[in-house]
Amino acid sequence: MSRAGLSDLAPLLAASRYEVLPTKRTLEAVLESVPREVTVTVTASPVKGLEPTLELACALAGHGYQAVPHLSARLVSDRTHLTDIVARLTQAGISDVFIPAGDANPPAGPFDSALALLEELNELGRPFAQVGVTGYPESHPIIGDDVTVQAMWDKRRYATYLVSNLCFDPAVLRGWIKRIRTRGVTLPLYVGLAGPIDRTKLLSMATKIGVAESSRFLAGHSGWFLRMGTPGAYDPDRLLARVAGQLVAPGAAVAGFHIFTFGQLAQTEQWRQAHVSKLASRAAS
């Protein structure tokens, strides 16, 4: 990897966003470890519904964070529910939301896809300045590749940025970024990245999110879960080294990283800060 590539990774790491689970201790953990300039995104649970997500996002916003709730389309019961959500978030000063379809089956209401909810938000006058949608470098566990590509193309009209799901294959990630840009998807991209993982803490995640939800999670993501948890199988530094050239390539439009923290906020922030300082010093030398 060239010095130029290394120097350009520092601003991408500085622009990282942290994904957190809406557990009882998450607010305290964020306040303890995460500086205010880091955006915090809050996942939504098909088991617990949207309320914990909204509650935590509003609390984070109250503490000065740029909070981004995941508004899973399949958890919104109807238009009234959506308008109430919009009012609550805007009152809290939240101007950025992430819209996945979600895994709730059956859906709680008429919004069975992210696109359906995006269209409804459009009818409500686009109340949020920033709207993120998902991209899938690797195959979705239950949705075909052709469908995900078409959905991303359809959603681009309502979104302002794209977040890639986790991908551990450097060649696949590099090829996917090239492919979506060739297809005309020009949204700024936050590359999904798993932070440094302590295997013991990773395995405890199942307990934190509940037995029912962890079973659902593992059913769709067991492959990459095992890749992270196996000794020597995953290292974010090694992955970054292999994709840095594509991330800083002209036309890639990578805005930063969307870091999946898996509850390990202190460890993730220490890793990020160390790398931002190290890469910035290399660039200045």
Helix 199-209 / helix 211-229 crossing angle, nearest 10 deg: 160
Q: What does the alpha-carbon distance between residue 86 and residue 21 come to, in Å, rounded to a whole number?
A: 21
Q: How far is CA 257 from CA 10, 164, 212, in A?
A: 11, 9, 29
33-48 confidence digits (pLDDT tens)? 999 999 999 999 888 9
Contact 216, 103 (CB under 8 A): yes
Give percent above pLDDT 70 in the chain: 78
Question: Among 17-21, 131-135, 204-208, which stretch is predicted with the lowest mean pLDDT?
Answer: 204-208
Angle at 198 (CA atoms; ends 174, 39), nearest 5 degrees = 60
Q: What does the alpha-carbon distance between residue 231 and residue 240 come to, in Å, rounded to a whole number?
A: 18
How many C-alpha atoms does 102 have within 13 Å on its Cβ side?
A: 32
pLDDT at 165: 87
Helices (H), the chain: 3-14, 26-33, 51-62, 79-91, 114-123, 145-155, 170-182, 199-209, 211-229, 236-247, 265-284
pLDDT at 256: 96
pLDDT at 53: 98
Residue 272, helix vs strand vs coil: helix
Tokens encoding 69: 């709730």
Contact 136, 163 (CB under 8 A): no
pLDDT at 196: 84
Which candidate, 174, 200, 196, 208, places its Cα nearest to that of 43? 208
| CATH 3.20.20.220 matches 3-284 | yes
Give percent above pLDDT 90 in the chain: 57
pLDDT at 152: 73
Angle at 109 (CA atoms; ends 104, 110), nearest 5 degrees = 110
Residue 17: in which H helix or E strand, if any?
strand 17-20
Do the bridges between strand 17-20 and strand 254-260 make them parallel or antiparallel, or are there none, so unpaired?
parallel
Determine if the peptide bond prior to 106 is cis (ω within 30°): yes
pLDDT at 278: 75
pLDDT at 164: 93
Is residue 270 scored above 60 in pLDDT?
yes
Residue 67, helix vs strand vs coil: strand
Q: What is the mean pLDDT of residues 146-174?
A: 83
pLDDT at 205: 54
Residue 226, helix vs strand vs coil: helix
Helix 265-284 / helix 26-33 crossing angle, nearest 10 deg: 30
Is residue 260 scored above 70 in pLDDT?
yes
183-240 confidence digits (pLDDT tens)? 888 999 999 998 887 666 655 554 444 434 434 444 445 555 555 555 555 688 888 9
Average pLDDT across the chain, whole number = 84
Q: What does the alpha-carbon distance between residue 162 and residue 149 come to, in Å, rounded to a whole number?
A: 12
Q: What does the alpha-carbon distance between residue 218 and residue 199 come to, in Å, rounded to a whole number?
A: 15
Residues 6+ apart with CB under 8 A from 188: 160, 161, 162, 253, 254, 255
